[in-house]
Each structure stands twice: as structure tokens, then as C-alpha cells.
Amino acid sequence: MQAIVYDEYGAPNEVLKLRDVDNPTVADDEVLVRIHAASANPYDWHYLRGLPYPMRLTGIGLRRPRSTTVLGSDMAGRVEAVGDKVTRFEPGDVVYAEVGNGAFAVYVAVSEGSLGRKPTSATFEQAAAVPMAGMTALIGLRDKGAVQPGQSVLINGASGGVGTFAVQIAKSFGAEVTGVCSTRNVELVRSIGADHVIDYTQADFTEGAEHYDLILDTVGNHSIRACPRVLTRKGTYGTAGGGRGRWFGPMTQQLKAAATSPFVSQNLVPVNDAPNQDLTFLTELIESGKVTPVIDRVYSLREVPDAMVYLERGHARGKVVITLAETA
């Protein structure tokens, strides 16, 4: 099968290669999925570059990857075959999931428990955009932020992958939502349901008069001391990314939040993805029309290096998607 692989760390257009590789083997509790679409996430380029450096201590390889790796974490497709112990799926079912690595390929083997049934109202491209970004937004709002109807929520980075899901999910919970984005994205953020939009080129939300019950920060471009100034006394600040330093990267803001939280009245917490934890809930939101994935650009499998370069620039509006229609 064709797949996008890398066997050294580096820039996407230097180390990513389209190669023919063996089809994955399927264990008894796994499902073989024929991928129709995938999506790119910052997670992917962190692994591709081996940054921040502490990631390399987790077993992925210090100087270079331990083995040739198929890139890609999110996918949607059709079940091709199932292992002997699989009971929930059968060939022909349409599914989606976060798979860790292996999504930028024609086939992937996935544990049965990781898979969700694709929302019937969503295309393969839309479904592939959901798992990591949608789950991160859901965890930040529901699990970490405990958002209630009528509460005031601010999403910093409202036009990005996590942000576009967060705006819509927060609205589905009955919150009053303020989105922060650049000038060119103001209308986009308003169109997906934000009650108020702050153009960060014109105003700094940390210096405003408004106070919020929850700030979900997907950018990390303000000091950890600035955000609590515009939280309610018992409000929550959740940091879900931002920062590209070689040593700690997006963990920088999360470590600062954890260190600062004991000394303030508010709750400052890291927000991390929990792969496929509640795809059923996200499916229900999509099928009810409360959430619609926002797709910026669609690339082919052979164009994945270009897709990753674009994503790394940090200006994607919603998600960057890979279609495998040409390999069908």
C-alpha cells in the first residue's frame, strides 16, 4: 500500500516520503480500515520533528526514529476486515478514530475499542477532522471547565482546529461565547456561533473589562499571570497548546499553569487530548447539527508534505484534511 513515512526527524518537505509499504497485519482484537480521509494535527509535526526534545525519551528514538514511521493520527474510512475477537464491527461499516500514527496511508489496523461510527451526516473528510481536535475541545470545556448554561466562555485561538470545535461545543452547552482571532477570521468565528469576537490585532482580551467563567487557550500567547485577571473569582483557565520551544514546546504553558494554580483563587489546568474517549458524544453533536467541522484546505496523499508545511505556519482556519480518493 502507499503511505507517507519518515525515518529521520526534520522538516516535512525534507524527510516525508511517499512509499509502498506492507499492509498492516490485523490482530484478533483489531479492525483493518481502508482510509478515505485523514487530517493533520500539531501532534503530527511534533513527532515528525522529534520536538520538544523530552518526547524522544518516551521511546520514539533519540537521534532518529526507532523505525520507519507512517505519519498521521486522525482518520475516517470503511472497515475492510476484522480480527477473530471483534464483535462491534463488520466489513463495510464506516468508522473514524484517532490512531496515534498510521493515518496517512491506504490502510490502518485499529483496536476495536478505539473506533467510533462515522456520523451519518458527515463526509469522510469532515469526520477525519474531528477526533483529536474535537476531543481536546470537549475535554477542555466539559471535563476540565465544567461549563454550565449561561456561563461566559472565552476561546483564545477560536479560528483554529481546536478553537472552531470549542466555539460550537460551548454554544451547544448553552454558554455565552467570546472568540479571539485575527482580523481575517472574525466573520468565520462569528458564523460558527460566537456571541462576541475579539480581533487580537485591535484589542488584548487580558486588558478588557469583561470577566469569564472559563478561558480555553489554544494559543498560549499571553503570560500565565495575565489570563487570571479576566477570570471570575472561581473561574477556570485551561491551556491546550501553544509554544514551540525545543525543550518544552506546548508543555511550557501547561507547566506554568500547574505551578501557578495553587497560589490563585482560580483553577489553572492543562488540557490534553484523551484519544477516542467519547467519540459517541461528538458524533451526537454532529448528527444533531450543533457542530460542523470547519475545513480549511484539502490535500492529496502525495501532497502531505505541503499540508504539514502549511499547518506548521500556524494560520490554518479549522482543520487541514488529507483525501485518499485518488488511491481508492
Rounded Cα distance, 91 and 32, in Å: 9
Q: pTM for this structure?
A: 0.93
Structural domains of the chain, with CATH: 2-130+293-327 (3.90.180.10), 132-270 (3.40.50.720)
What crossing angle do the helices spanning 131-138 and 161-172 adopt, rounded to 10°? 50
Rounded Cα distance, 314 and 304, in Å: 16
Q: Is the model more confident about 196 or about 61?
A: 196
- Bin 291: left if φ > 0, else alpha if -120 < ψ < 50, else beta: beta
Residue 191, all three cell numbers = 458564523
Asked whether 239 and 220 are in contact (CB, 8 A), the reply is yes
- pLDDT at 28 exceeding the cut of 60: yes
Which pLDDT score is estimated for 223? 83
Phi, psi (degrees; rounded to nearest 5) at 140: -60, -40
**What is the torsion angle, in degrees rounded to the nearest 10, for the CA atoms of residue 95, residue 217, residue 164 and residue 115?**
0
pLDDT in tens, 68-118: 799 999 999 999 999 999 999 999 999 999 998 999 999 999 999 999 999
Q: How confident is the model at residue 260 (pLDDT cuts 50, 70, 90)?
A: confident
pLDDT in tens, 264-307: 767 888 887 777 789 999 999 999 999 999 999 999 999 999 99
Average pLDDT value for residue range 122-134 = 97
Place of cell 496515534: 100
DSSP-derived secondary structure for 176-232 = EEEEEE-GGGHHHHHHTT-SEEEETTT--GGGSS--EEEEEESS--S-TTTGGGGEE
Neighbours of 113 (CB within 10 A): 12
Q: Reduced to 3 states, what is the DSSP secondary structure of residue 195?
A: coil
